[in-house]
Amino acid sequence: MPRITAIICVRMGSERFPGKTMKPINGRPLLGILIDRVKQSKHINSIVVATSVNKNNDIIETFCANEGIHCFRGSEDDVAGRMLGALESEGADIGVEIYGDGPLNDPRLIDECIEYYLNDGTYDLVGNDMKATYPSGMYSETFSVKAFKDSTERTSDPAIREHGTLYLRQHPDLYKTINIEADGKLNRSDIHLDVDTKYDFDIIEAIVKNFAPRNDFSLSEILDFLDANPLLAKSNQHTERRWKQYQRT
């Protein structure tokens, strides 16, 4: 059986919300909340947190050690190189990128991408982030580590490498990829559940506290809560989402 490893790339040096990774809700940092949810996946064999060698990320390594989670440290800016090093250190055949700024990522959606990848067997990457249909913060990618390694060897452009799997996603002539789109109720790209600013954090905090002590609530339940609290849901709509330039519309 192939080894499936989830990789979470995080660092403390956010420009707009420094230290957000370790910002606590009910005593649990955002990284811990995300790890708790990723552990609910039915298919992931291991989790690796990939951060940089910068000293301000020591707190992340210490937290992971206390959680029994492997922490790999590499380049601050060469995210593709850091990801590859982390996945190879785990002996992974299949990588599952979980974005560190989405602490409430639904394990059901993560598993949907993994299952599509496994059941089809022909894709190099299966994701739900290449076109905006799901709320942000619910994105993941399942990909062949072999194909990803090949993609990292084809480019030395720092502007490409800082975005992880970007080269692989942007070259359909070399790699086979597919985007899973949200259906029905979950098709809510107007909702933002990633944490770039304090406004975003306040929404995540309200959601976590509403469902506490549960940590297995679904995206569907989150949307019901936000639809019942429309002012809260709209409170971060003004935030610039820089990653949107890499999505199809």
pLDDT, tens digit (0-9, with 9 covering 90-100), for 47-81: 999 999 999 999 999 999 999 999 999 999 999 99
Q: How far is CA 68 from CA 64, 98, 131, in A?
A: 6, 18, 34
Which pLDDT band, with edges at 50, 70 and 90, does 14 fall under? confident
| Sheet order of strands, 4-9 included | 70-74, 46-52, 4-9, 94-99, 140-144, 125-127, 177-179
Q: pTM of the entire structure?
A: 0.94
Residues 6+ apart with CB under 8 A from 208: 25, 26, 33, 104
pLDDT above 90 coverage of the chain, percent: 92
Q: Which residues contact 15 (CB under 8 A, 6 or more apart)?
A: none
Given this model, what pLDDT does residue 249 score? Answer: 39
pLDDT at 238 over 80: no
Superfamily name and number for 4-246 = Spore Coat Polysaccharide Biosynthesis Protein SpsA; Chain A (3.90.550.10)
| Tokens read off for 110 | 């993560």
CA 243 to chain centre: 12
pLDDT > 60? residue 244: no
> Where does residue 134 rank: exposed (0-12), middle (13-18), buried (19+ CB within 10 A)?
buried
Res 169 pLDDT > 50: yes
| Higher local confidence (pLDDT), 1 or 88 | 88
Are 35 and 47 spatial neighbours (Cβ–Cβ below 8 Å)? yes
pLDDT in tens, 27-56: 999 999 999 999 999 999 999 999 999 999
